[in-house]
Chains A and B, each alone.
Chain A
Amino acid sequence: MATTSAHATAAAEPHHEPSFVRKYIFSTDHKVIGIQFLFMSLFFLLIGGLLAGVIRWQLGWPTNPDMPLPGGGLLPETMVNQGIVLPEFYNSAVTMHGTIMIFFAIMPLLVGVYANYLIPLQIGAPDMAFPKLNMASFWTAAPAGVIMLAGFFVAGGHSGAGWTQYPPLSANPEFSGVYMGQQLWLISMIVLGFSSLMGAVNYVTTVINMRAPGMTWFRLPLATWALFVTAVLILLAVPVLTGALILLLFDQTIGTTFFSPEYGGEPLLWQHLFWFFGHPEVYILILPAMGFVSEIIAAGSRKPIFGYHAMVLAIIAIAFLGWGVWGHHMFQSGMNPTLGMGFMATTMVIAVPSAIKVFNWLATMWRGDLHFHTPMLHAVAFVGMFVIGGLSGVFVASTPVDIFLHDTYFVVAHIHYVLFGGSLFALYAAITFWYPKMFGRMMNPLLGKLHFWLTVLFFNLTFFPMHNLGIAGMMRRIYDPNQYEFLRPMQELNTMISIAALLLIGTQLIFAFNFFWSLFRGEPAPANPWRANSLEWAAPSPPPHGNFARTPVVYRGPYEYSSPLSVEDYLPQDDPPAEGPEPVPAPATSH
């Protein structure tokens, strides 16, 4: 093992103890920033989960005075009246559940946390290319979150136009009754876009320019590959959203009419711009997850990842094809149906690289030596559930079938299988996997497994039946399905789903407890608890400022598990080869 020395600094500056503020609040250390993002996005995950609770409460017992919303009394009467969720608040709850989960929970968890934390460690760099910019990225995201939350407290309530914000509903307060909330939503998203952008510039530059000697492109761990490609997607997709948001904000505030038809604006233009960003966005939300899962399945199987090059190519193919499919969200929107055909074709094709990834994960497990620790459980469950979400995507990709399934709960089921079954399960895997590295303590494995099994159970009980609701025609974003006769027979199932969902939300408290309890009481973690190969495990847990005592030198790919060359069943990337010429170590510093 290369480095476990106690005081380590590869940075050129003399080491002096920084003040508390510099160390934990305005820190430029990529690890501290990653952890800041972690706490922030877990907080938002909780908020998003609570909003899901509101949604499910209403749908389980619609407008039922005998089942007042627990805690509803704490909310103002413009949201919840005598325990009954009002339709305005329901729309805000759905909108904000989607917005918060996607932009303030999952995206920062995947990218803000792990691109920051992992990239420098996995490529053997002391920090990001632009540490100050990195700090600015977090300190832009945090105010964006505050602005977003502020929307709940202004007169008129928060935006209720769905996370997709289709104008004219979102453009004109006359139609929605929402004034300030809508504007705060837009401003917050613009600010958040800047944060993402600063992050992305940093990640791309860092991966290109700061790799340790020997860390060639095809020796990068798949997590870093995925995060790199994700950063490129963010870089190119987010500015398009920012542009569109600005136009919408002008429509809202100064009376332009880009998207409002009275003066010639085009509502569909928004949808094109939004989904041109939006579809790459959903791959932003899955690619890092796929990267983490690749790391964890390889380490958990004690086997090299099957088809490393194919995996890399698949990541690139998904990212590339992802730009040409946005219209599949607009098949029924009034978009030219011929264009729809083209989008159907590209959408179908994009299933192929995902197939490659799924089969390679399976092949990695084949003839392995599977250790089912908590991260591995989550990673394997990811594969199982991402497949369900992906396959339901194929239904809606078929234009005629989408005529019926569009904007029904079938799509809601699809979303949650890819985003919860996919991204969030991968995140639970990642959090439990890298927790020892981040905090120097192990999470409790028993609680971890309990959380895992209950989550798998309740997750599937909640979301699998939603496919049926959609197939039976239940629309999304409706406050009270019982208004429709053909939906009334489904109330029982809806109630069942709600009970499962509430149990699911409750189960997450086990995770929260485990997370905080282990911070203080967890067993101290060794440098490499999972006996994994990539460079982050060569640094101490937690790694000091500057990460490595000496710039690591990389001799091989990241997945040399059970190699015949080693006695152990793993072979770290920086372990010098037993024989052959001793490579020249890099100069620790050039000036």
Chain B
Amino acid sequence: MPWLPAQVSTFGGEIDSIFYIILVITGIIFLLVEATLLWFAFRYRHREGRKAEHIHGNWKVEVIWTTIPFIIVIALGAMSFGPWARIKMLGRFPAPGLEIGVMASQFEWMVTYPGADGRLGTDDDFQRRNQVHIPVAQPILVHLSAEDVIHSFFLPHFRVKQDAVPGMDNQVVWFEATEPGEYELACAELCGTGHTRMRGTLVVHSAADFETWYEGATQTAN
């Protein structure tokens, strides 16, 4: 059975562990409820001479089975706050090792890299279509935007997903790769006929490799 794709970002592990905690808790609830259901269905099935008991309810058990789920869901919520804040809240972002711009449009990802001056929005910026190159073990800050319709920047192996909304210029995503390699960038929001093929590649280089690639890229860019 297909399962979570290999996980290669610093915070991906946190997301996965919450996923597993919920899986275990809901799994237990699932088994208990379904087992009870089947057991009752079998145990109390109609038999000649059986009469149902005339029971209207019991406030004590109502309180119990209200309180327990309440505590569980509150715990699940509380557990989710921290990672969410670390991953999505601007104020909690780490200092970036590399800032890039990603402009989504029908149906491609235009990636802007800072040129030699290391800053985005200057003349020496250069672009790559559907190609994201990043160094390993560096926080990457992505400035997301969209030109036409809503797209969604989805890096399955990094547990990253963020919609790119036209007109919203302050969308930022960060992540940090732990493993060099080549991964896929997907569009996760229906954006038209070509939604299905709006695919990009994300290459995570080792520090040295990235230097080389970057050198080469800035050379050809100018």
- Please, which residue of chain B has its CB at the minimum distance from the CB of A557? B56
Q: Does B95 contact A (CB under 8 A)?
A: no
Q: Which residues of B contact A310 (CB under 8 A)?
A: 57, 59, 62
CB distance from A559 to the nearest CB of B (A): 8
Instruction: Check B2–A391 contact: CB distance below 8 A.
Output: no
Q: Which residues of A contact B87 (CB under 8 A)?
A: 400, 403
Bound-complex Cα distance A174 to B149 (A)? 10
Contact of B195 among A362, A391, A477, A485 (CB under 8 A): A477
Instruction: Give 1 or 0 for each of B182-194: 1 = CB within 8 Å of chain A CB.
Output: 0010111111111
Bound-complex Cα distance A475 to B159 (A)? 13
Q: Which residues of A contact B207 (CB under 8 A)?
A: none
Q: Does B208 contact A (CB under 8 A)?
A: no
Please indicate which of the listed interface residues A176, A338, A362, A473 has the most CB atoms of chain B within 10 Å of its own CB. A473
Q: Which of B110-118, B120-128, B166-174 contacts A (4 or more CB under 8 A)?
A: B166-174
Instruction: Check B65–A332 contact: CB distance below 8 A.
Output: no
Contact of B167 among A177, A265, A301, A407 (CB under 8 A): A265
Q: Does A266 contact B (CB under 8 A)?
A: yes
Instruction: Give 1 or 0 for each of A402-426: 1 = CB within 8 Å of chain B CB.
Output: 0110111000000000000000000
Q: Which of A110-118, A223-231, A368-376 contacts B (4 or more CB under 8 A)?
A: A368-376
Q: Which of B14-22, B135-143, B210-218 contacts A (4 or more CB under 8 A)?
A: B14-22
Contact of A400 among B83, B171, B186 (CB under 8 A): B83
Instruction: Check A401–B18 contact: CB distance below 8 A.
Output: yes
Instruction: Check B168–A334 contact: CB distance below 8 A.
Output: yes
Given A302-B52, A304-B55, A398-B80: A384 and B34 interface contact (C-beta under 8 Å)? yes
Q: Does A255 contact B (CB under 8 A)?
A: no
Instruction: Check B189–A407 contact: CB distance below 8 A.
Output: yes
Please indicate which of the listed interface residues B18, B45, B74, B163 has the most CB atoms of chain A within 10 Å of its own CB. B163
Instruction: Check B18–A367 contact: CB distance below 8 A.
Output: no
Contact of B18 among A359, A398, A493 (CB under 8 A): A398
Instruction: Give 1 or 0 for each of B20-54: 1 = CB within 8 Å of chain A CB.
Output: 00110010011001101100110011110011111
Q: Which residues of B contact A302 (CB under 8 A)?
A: 51-52
CB distance from B77 to the nearest CB of A (A): 4
Q: Which residues of A contact B156 (CB under 8 A)?
A: 404, 473, 486
Q: Which residues of B contact A471 (CB under 8 A)?
A: 2-4
Q: Does A562 contact B (CB under 8 A)?
A: yes
Contact of B84 among A160, A400, A479 (CB under 8 A): A400
Instruction: Check A169–B56 contact: CB distance below 8 A.
Output: no
Instruction: Give 1 or 0 for each of A388-403: 1 = CB within 8 Å of chain B CB.
Output: 1001101101111101
Instruction: Check B37–A561 contact: CB distance below 8 A.
Output: no
Given A356-B65, A365-B40: A87 and B194 interface contact (C-beta under 8 Å)? yes
Given A489-B2, A569-B52: A365 and B34 interface contact (C-beta under 8 Å)? no
Given A332-B152, A334-B171, A369-B52: A484 and B186 interface contact (C-beta under 8 Å)? yes
Q: Which residues of A contact B23 (CB under 8 A)?
A: 395
Q: Which residues of A contact B74 (CB under 8 A)?
A: 348-349
Q: Does B222 contact A (CB under 8 A)?
A: no
Q: Does B88 contact A (CB under 8 A)?
A: yes
Contact of A337 among B14, B45, B84 (CB under 8 A): B84
Instruction: Give 1 or 0 for each of A459-473: 1 = CB within 8 Å of chain B CB.
Output: 000000100110111
Instruction: Check A406–B161 contact: CB distance below 8 A.
Output: yes
Given A391-B30, A394-B26, A401-B19: A561 and B4 interface contact (C-beta under 8 Å)? no
Contacting residues of chain A (483-514) with chain B, CB-CB under 8 angstroms: 483-486, 489-490, 493
Instruction: Check B88–A394 contact: CB distance below 8 A.
Output: no
Q: Does A383 contact B (CB under 8 A)?
A: yes
CB distance from B58 to the nearest CB of A (A): 7
Q: Which residues of B contact A166 (CB under 8 A)?
A: 149-150, 189-190
Q: Does B85 contact A (CB under 8 A)?
A: yes
Name the interface size band of chain A: 35 or more
Q: Which residues of A contact B149 (CB under 8 A)?
A: 166-169, 172, 175
- Please, which residue of chain A has its CB at the minimum distance from the CB of B144? A334
Contact of A88 among B167, B188, B193 (CB under 8 A): B193
Instruction: Check A407–B37 contact: CB distance below 8 A.
Output: no
Q: Which residues of B contact A332 (CB under 8 A)?
A: 152, 161-163
Q: Which residues of B contact A387 (CB under 8 A)?
A: 29-30, 33-34
Instruction: Check A369–B55 contact: CB distance below 8 A.
Output: no
CB distance from B83 to the nearest CB of A (A): 4
Q: Does B97 contact A (CB under 8 A)?
A: no
Instruction: Check A337–B65 contact: CB distance below 8 A.
Output: no
Bound-complex Cα distance A517 to B132 (A)? 61
Instruction: Check B66–A355 contact: CB distance below 8 A.
Output: yes
Instruction: Check A87–B41 contact: CB distance below 8 A.
Output: no
Q: Does A150 contact B (CB under 8 A)?
A: no
Given A162-B190, A468-B3: A356 and B37 interface contact (C-beta under 8 Å)? no
- Please, which residue of chain A has its CB at the minimum distance from the CB of B183? A486
Q: Which residues of B contact A529 (CB under 8 A)?
A: none
Contact of A366 among B44, B45, B81 (CB under 8 A): B44
Q: Does A306 contact B (CB under 8 A)?
A: yes
Given A362-B40, A369-B50, A403-B160: A484 and B192 interface contact (C-beta under 8 Å)? no
Please indicate which of the listed interface residues A351, A368, A380, A485 has the most CB atoms of chain B within 10 Å of its own CB. A368
Q: Which residues of B contact A340 (CB under 8 A)?
A: 84, 88
Q: Does A91 contact B (CB under 8 A)?
A: yes
Bound-complex Cα distance A176 to B192 (A)? 6
Given A352-B69, A404-B15: A306 and B22 interface contact (C-beta under 8 Å)? no
Instruction: Check B52–A303 contact: CB distance below 8 A.
Output: yes
Contact of B37 among A333, A372, A383, A473 (CB under 8 A): A383
Instruction: Check A399–B40 contact: CB distance below 8 A.
Output: no
Q: Does A161 contact B (CB under 8 A)?
A: yes
Q: Does B199 contact A (CB under 8 A)?
A: yes
Instruction: Check A261–B30 contact: CB distance below 8 A.
Output: no
Instruction: Check A561–B66 contact: CB distance below 8 A.
Output: no
CB distance from A304 to the nearest CB of B (A): 5
Instruction: Give 1 or 0 for each of A321-342: 1 = CB within 8 Å of chain B CB.
Output: 0000000000011100110110
Given A355-B69, A403-B161, A469-B2: A483 and B190 interface contact (C-beta under 8 Å)? no
CB distance from A303 to the nearest CB of B (A): 4
Instruction: Check B62–A395 contact: CB distance below 8 A.
Output: no
Q: Which residues of A contact B221 (CB under 8 A)?
A: none
Instruction: Check A371–B46 contact: CB distance below 8 A.
Output: yes
Bound-complex Cα distance A401 to B22 (A)? 9
Given A404-B19, A471-B4, A486-B156: A380 and B73 interface contact (C-beta under 8 Å)? no
Given A471-B3, A484-B186: A380 and B165 interface contact (C-beta under 8 Å)? no
Contact of B45 among A268, A367, A372, A469 (CB under 8 A): A372
A and B contact pairs by CB, cutoff 8 A, 20 listed: A87-B194, A175-B148, A261-B168, A266-B167, A267-B165, A348-B76, A356-B66, A362-B37, A365-B40, A369-B46, A383-B37, A394-B76, A395-B19, A403-B87, A404-B19, A407-B161, A471-B2, A473-B186, A476-B188, A493-B1
If A349-B74, A380-B41, A384-B37 are given as contacts, then 13 extra A-B residue pairs at C-beta distance below 8 Å, sorted by A number, are A168-B166, A261-B165, A268-B165, A333-B163, A341-B84, A349-B73, A356-B66, A365-B41, A407-B152, A468-B2, A472-B3, A473-B5, A475-B186
Residues of B within 8 A of A (CB): 1-5, 14-15, 18-19, 22-23, 26, 29-30, 33-34, 36-37, 40-41, 44-47, 50-59, 61-62, 65-66, 69-70, 73-74, 76-77, 79-81, 83-85, 87-89, 106, 148-150, 152, 154, 156-157, 159-168, 171, 184, 186-197, 199
